[in-house]
Amino acid sequence: MFDLLFQHIVKKASLTPNELEFLKTVFVPKKLRKRQYLLQEGEVSKYMAFVNKGCLRAYTIDETGREHIVLFAIEEWWIGDMYSYLSGEPSTYNIEALEDSELLLLDRNGQEKILQHIPAFEKFQRIILENNYIATHRRINNMMTKTAEEKYLDFSSRYPQIVQRVPQHMIASYLGITPETLSRIRKQIAENK
Partner 1 sequence: MATKKTIAIIGATSRIGAAIAKMLAKNNYRLLLMSRQTDQLDIIAEQIKKRDSNLEIEKIYCSTEACWEADVIILAEPNISTKEIVEKIKPVATGKIVISLVKFFNDGIDPVPDMKELLPYSKFIDVFNLADDPGFAAPVIDEEMLDAFIAGNDGIESSIMKN
Binding site for partner 1 (CB under 8 A): 1, 24-33, 37-43, 102, 105, 107, 110
| Amino acid identity, position 99 | E
CB of 28 to partner 1, least distance (A): 3
CB of 104 to partner 1, least distance (A): 9
CB of 35 to partner 1, least distance (A): 12
Q: Which is nearer to partner 1, 118 or 162 (CB)?
A: 118
Backbone φ and ψ of 187, nearest 5°: -65, -45
CB of 31 to partner 1, least distance (A): 4
Q: Which is nearer to partner 1, 59 or 152 (CB)?
A: 59
| Length of the chain, in residues | 193
CB of 110 to partner 1, least distance (A): 7
**What order do you get walking across the sheet with 28-32 strand by strand?**
28-32, 101-107, 47-53, 78-79
Angle value at C-alpha 146, between 142 and 151, nearest 5 degrees: 70
Query: What distance in Å separates the CA atoms of residue 102 and residue 99, rounded to the nearest whole number?
Result: 10
CB of 75 to partner 1, least distance (A): 17
Q: Which is nearer to partner 1, 96 or 185 (CB)?
A: 96
Angle value at C-alpha 47, between 53 and 38, nearest 5 degrees: 60
Q: Which is nearer to partner 1, 100 or 149 (CB)?
A: 100
3-state secondary structure of 59: strand
Query: What distance in Å separates the CA atoms of residue 71 and residue 155, rounded to the nearest whole number?
Result: 12
Q: Which is nearer to partner 1, 106 or 162 (CB)?
A: 106
Q: Which is nearer to partner 1, 19 or 102 (CB)?
A: 102
Measured between alpha carbons, how far is residue 175 from residues 60, 145, 159 in Å? 14, 12, 13
